[in-house]
Amino acid sequence: MSDAHAPYDALLLLSFGGPEGPEDVVPFLENVTRGRGIPKERLAEVGQHYFLFGGVSPINAQNRELLAALRADFADHGLDLPVHWGNRNWAPYLVDTLREMAADGHRRVLVLATSAYANYSGCRQYRENLAAALTALREEGAPGAAELRVDKLRLFYNHPGFVEPMIESTLAALESLPETVRAGARLAFTTHSIPDVLADTSGAPADPARSTPGGAYVAQHREVARLIATAVAEATGVVDRPWELVYQSRSGAPHIPWLEPDICDHLEAEQAAGAAAVVMVPIGFVSDHMEVKYDLDTQAREKADELGLPVARAATVGADPRFAAAVRDLVLERAARERGERVGPCTLGALGASHDVCPVGCCPAARGAAPAAAGEDWIN
Ligand SMILES: CC1=C(CCC(=O)O)c2cc3nc(cc4[nH]c(cc5[nH]c(cc1n2)c(C)c5CCC(=O)O)c(CCC(=O)O)c4C)C(CCC(=O)O)=C3C
Ligand SMILES: [Fe+2]
């Protein structure tokens, strides 16, 4: 079992990062939005969301919990693979974590990005961050950086360890509603809205979903939504419960089309259509971070209260032990394939496993192209 992770010698948890106090909020937002053309008004508004929570995003604490869950799971299963953590937008910054890892002698690092689906922000942008960090370390002559190689785990949206905890949390959310509205409650699966152009070009160029509206991003979310809705129907015996995939957290200029409908407009439509209640299921996110705490638990809930519509919100996977076990499974699967062994990928549903290595042209940026590591277009 001790070589089960070979050729890899470490796992890197790569995430978004968030502010840890009021003084961090503005510099954090500057990091997130550098060169991205987000209107000033939108930034001021998002800053207010963070100030409402004392300037502290829940995301760093959640990543520390996930880190602990991964280390505990690996230790319990005899997987002797160190786990490190670095972020795109806040400390611990990716470049600092990679510098330490290289100095500690790590050479083949596998990366888990905290984003389950194909899209520029959740996949290629992390690969660009890896390329920028590696280039900076090599330029500064950091010890070991020249030999450091990074690979990224395949997308995990359809892994049972991601889907099953959410089936359970959707059932728990339904249970939390008053009994009288439970059978008539509808499901609203939510994810981050992204510009239509980024959705339409998401996924590998050869992925059949890439030629459908919304690309792989929407196809993958629809699949997870369908899997959860089907399991919920089986468990509750309500077979014709309506469900929709809807969007949240839109930013950017108003004249640029982003994925719709927004969750708040959707709640209004559901109420008008006679829904007894709505369960919001944030399948687009891996933890209950700010997008969930503010955009759903604060803003969407306020909207529902105004409408007199009972709502509940399902928990994300967070540090669920089943998710930690899924990461172990993904690590072992990838390591085996890297050694030339054939191992069947573990997935649910109809779409099959995502590629191990992003091909050229996978999830391109809306404009411009930056070097991206851990893909076919990156030469180490
Ligand atoms: C697809 C997607 C995910 C899900 C996948 C994943 O998890 O990666 C995600 C996650 C997150 N997004 C987050 C925060 C922000 N995202 C922003 C802006 C944007 N997000 C976008 C997309 C996504 N974002 C896009 C297309 C933009 C426009 C600007 C750009 O093209 O980059 C802005 C700027 C202000 C605003 O405009 O809202 C903030 C502050 C946090 C941290 C939360 C916390 O602090 O707890 C997390 C986990
Ligand atoms: Fe975002």
Q: Is the pLDDT of residue 76 over 50?
A: yes
| Residue 221 covered by a domain | yes
Q: Chain-wide mean pLDDT for the chain?
A: 96
In this predicted structure, what is the pLDDT of residue 35? 81
Residues 148 and 273 reside in one and the same domain: no
| Residue of 232, 231, 237, 242 lying closest to 277 (CA atoms) | 242
Q: Is 84 annotated as a binding residue?
A: no
224-249 mean pLDDT: 98
263-277 mean pLDDT: 98
113-137 mean pLDDT: 98
| Residue of 202, 187, 327, 320 lying closest to 245 (CA atoms) | 187
**2-6, 151-155, 204-208, range with the lowest pLDDT:** 2-6
Q: Is the pLDDT of residue 12 over 70?
A: yes
How large is the ipTM?
A: 0.94
Residue of 62, 291, 292 to test ligand 1 pocket, by largest number of atoms within 8 Å of CB? 291
Question: Which residue carries 């280390």 as its tokens?
Answer: 71
182-193 mean pLDDT: 98
Residues 181 and 44 reside in one and the same domain: no
Residues 294 and 197 reside in one and the same domain: yes
Residues 331 and 300 reside in one and the same domain: no
Which residues have CB under 8 Å from 65's CB, separation 6+? 318, 319
**d(Cα 84, Cα 94) in Å, to the nearest integer?**
10
Q: Is 192 annotated as a binding residue?
A: yes
Residues 249 and 328 reside in one and the same domain: no
Out of 313, 329, 350, a domain closes at 313
3-state secondary structure (DSSP) of residue 281: strand
**d(Cα 380, Cα 376) in Å, to the nearest integer?**
10
Q: Measured from the CB, is residue 119 less than 6 Å from ligand 1?
A: yes
Residues 187 and 68 reside in one and the same domain: no
| Residue 305 covered by a domain | yes
33-60 mean pLDDT: 92
| Residue 4 covered by a domain | no
Domain that holds residue 308: 160-313
| Residue 348 covered by a domain | no
Q: Measured from the CB, is residue 59 less than 6 Å from ligand 1?
A: yes
Residues 43 and 187 reside in one and the same domain: no
Asked whether the beta carbons of 309 and 267 are under 8 A apart, the reply is yes
| Residue 346 covered by a domain | no
In this predicted structure, what is the pLDDT of residue 205? 97
Residues 85 and 51 reside in one and the same domain: yes
Give the nearest ligand 1 atom to 113 CA: 8
| Residue of 155, 103, 153 lying closest to 130 (CA atoms) | 153
Q: Measured from the CB, is residue 251 less than 6 Å from ligand 1?
A: yes
Residues 153 and 164 reside in one and the same domain: no
In this predicted structure, what is the pLDDT of residue 1? 45
40-57 mean pLDDT: 94
Residues 282 and 189 reside in one and the same domain: yes
| Residue 359 covered by a domain | no
CATH of the domain at 130: 3.40.50.1400
| Domains of the chain: total | 2
In this predicted structure, what is the pLDDT of residue 2? 57
In this predicted structure, what is the pLDDT of residue 43? 87
Q: Is 291 annotated as a binding residue?
A: yes
Residues 91 and 180 reside in one and the same domain: no
Whole-angstrom CA distances from 47 to 50, 142, 297 are: 5, 35, 17
| Residue 184 covered by a domain | yes
Which residues is 112 bridged to in the sheet? 13
Output 38 or 13, whichever has higher pLDDT: 13
Categorize the per-residue pLDDT at 40 as very low, low, confident or very high, splitting at 50, 70 and 90.
confident
| Residue 41 covered by a domain | yes
Residues 144 and 222 reside in one and the same domain: no
Out of 296, 313, 330, a domain closes at 313
Q: Measured from the CB, is residue 291 less than 6 Å from ligand 1?
A: yes
Tokens coding 96: 């600092």
264-289 mean pLDDT: 98
Q: Give residue 267 CA to ligand 1 midpoint distance, Å.
A: 22
